[in-house]
Amino acid sequence: MKSEIGPLAIVGGGICGLKLALDLAERGIECNVYERAPRIKELGVGITVLPHGMREFAALGLSEKLLARGIENRESCFFNRFGQLIYKEPRGKFAGNAFAEVGLHRGHLHKTLFDAACQRLGPDRILTDRDCLAVEQDDEGVTLHFRETSTGRALEPMRACALIACDGVNSTVRKSFYPDESLAFAGINTWRGVTRHKPILGGRTYMRIGSILTGKIVIYPIVDDVDGSGNQLINWTTEIKSSSFEKNDWNTPGKLDDFIHLYESFRFDWLDVPDMIRRSDVLLEYPMVDKDPVARWSFGRVTFAGDAAHPMYPRGSNGSAQAVIDARVLADGLARDPDPVTAFKAYEAERSEATAKVVRTNREHPPDFINIKVEELVGDRPFVNLDDYITQDELRALSENYKRIAGFSVSDPREIRAND
């Protein structure tokens, strides 16, 4: 049975927008998705779906498809830049969560959601090649102005009952309400890639090596037996904090010479990091940016979700999880209350402070704070007995604190339960 709300507009057909469309469809609420890209392609590098993210996909019947395309993590390991193990812990179901933690190619996740949305909503509801230029609203609804991305040609305006902006960190819709806002950049740049490599540490391990102060790299597998010879596709991301505050470009390939010197000494008996980086299939560069939490997301018949609402540092693999939780909370609110104005306010009240805490924690005390803490205590040199500086229980407490804030601590049964 169709809802009384009428068609909603979702601007942005990424992970958040497509998950929202699927959640709305489950509740009988009509929507149209407008995506800037002319075509949906399996682009990008790796992404980790944490247990509270998998919970959301399981509710849509997609968890098995994602598990089949990715790799279930068994453990997370923290190392210093000398290759010494600092701390390790089980992850996902191996840690007692009800849902798995899965590393997979971002493009595979996106395409899975896109295919499901086309099947369940109908392909005519997912409109690509639509670049949203402006939004107007009145007492009855919103008017969206588009141009065709591929040609620049102006398109007929579209009407909708209400609009949810899921158009990412550089949201055009959000900018219309916060025209003077800018991205927050604290001098941390990243380079990312994927490499075909034999399984590392058993092939089910998420690794954080070093720190942003002297050179950090995150490594995890995303595709099993990628070449028929037993090699995995390994995702890696380097991060370094610089005093120069020169920001990486969003739109150009990365240059090896800009950062490889930081990792030349990362040669361990279990992994040759510079060799892995040099053999990457792709090399991309990004600045690490977020935005300060804002006082409100909802303006009448318009609200924000995902990165458009709460851009956060891509640490702890939590951005996508928070986005898909946004989608479910929004859909539940609209199912309860057919007035989008009041439903949007209720959604914002439930989600804004929770996500603001994650934004602030990702800046100040992310999971790799463990690496930074040990580096400071030991003096950035190899250790003989780490317990002389900090205990495993103290390191575990740092890890658990992040998981509680992020929403996937086993100690909080509200966050690991299956959806009702």
How far apart (Å, rounded) are the C-alpha atoms in residues 404 and 396? 12
Please tell me the pTM assigned to this model: 0.92
Q: How many helices (H) and strands (E) does the chain have?
A: 10, 18
Q: Residue 64: which of 104, 27, 97 has the closest Cα?
A: 104
Residue with tokens 């995150």: 218
Q: What angle do CA 189, 48, 213 make, to 5 degrees?
A: 30
First to last CA, the chain: 20
Please report how many Cα atoms fall inside a 13 Å half-sphere around the Cα of residue 70, on the Cβ side: 32
Sheet with 142-148: list strands edge to edge.
Answer: 130-137, 142-148, 158-160
As a whole number of angstroms, the distance between CA 129 and CA 153 comes to: 10
- Could you give phi then psi for residue 3, rounded to 5 degrees? -75, 160
Tokens of 139: 């007492």
Least Cα distance to 130 among 102, 91, 158 occurs for 158
What residues does 46 pair with on adjacent strands? 105
| Helix ranges restricted to H, 223-368 | 273-278, 319-336, 340-364
Q: Is 164 within 8 Å of 9 (Cβ atoms)?
A: yes
The structure tokens listed for 295 are 């006082």
pLDDT value at residue 279: 97
pLDDT at position 418 is: 36
The H or E element that residue 24 is part of is helix 15-26
Rounded Cα distance, 129 and 151, in Å: 9
DSSP letter for each residue of 151-214? T--B---EEES-EEE---TT-HHHHHH-TT---EEEEEEEEEEEEEEPPSTTS-EEEEEEETTT
Query: Can you give the pLDDT at residue 338?
Result: 87
Question: In a structure prediction context, what are the per-residue pLDDT tens digits for the chain, which is 420 residues long?
Answer: 344 456 999 999 999 999 999 999 999 999 999 999 999 888 888 999 999 999 999 999 999 999 999 999 999 999 999 999 999 999 999 999 999 999 999 999 999 999 999 999 999 999 999 999 999 999 999 999 999 999 999 999 999 999 999 999 999 999 999 999 988 888 889 999 999 999 999 999 999 999 988 999 999 999 999 999 999 999 999 999 887 668 888 767 899 999 999 999 999 999 999 999 999 999 999 888 889 999 999 999 999 999 999 999 887 678 899 999 999 999 999 999 989 999 999 999 999 999 999 898 888 877 788 999 999 999 999 999 999 999 999 999 988 887 787 677 676 544 443 333
List C-alpha distances in Å: 66 to 23, 25, 166, 317, 327. Answer: 17, 20, 22, 16, 18
Q: Which residues, at least 6 apart from 165, have a Cβ–Cβ distance to it below 8 Å?
A: 11, 12, 171, 172, 173, 174, 302, 303, 304, 305, 308, 309
Task: Write the DSSP string, 112-123.
Answer: HHHHHHHHHH-G
Look at strands 205-211 and 215-223 and give their pairing.
antiparallel
**Residue pointed to by tokens 């959806």:** 419
In order of 2, 187, 191, 317, the CA distances from 252 in angstroms are: 45, 18, 11, 23
Considering the domain delimited by 8-45+106-182+297-364, tell me its CATH architecture: 3-Layer(bba) Sandwich (3.50)
Amino acid making up residue 360: R
Backbone angles phi, psi at 414, to 5 degrees: -65, -25
Q: What span, in angstroms and rounded, lies between the C-alpha atoms of 292 and 363?
A: 10
pLDDT reported for residue 244: 67
Taking a C-beta distance cutoff of 8 angstroms, is the pair 144, 9 a contact?
yes
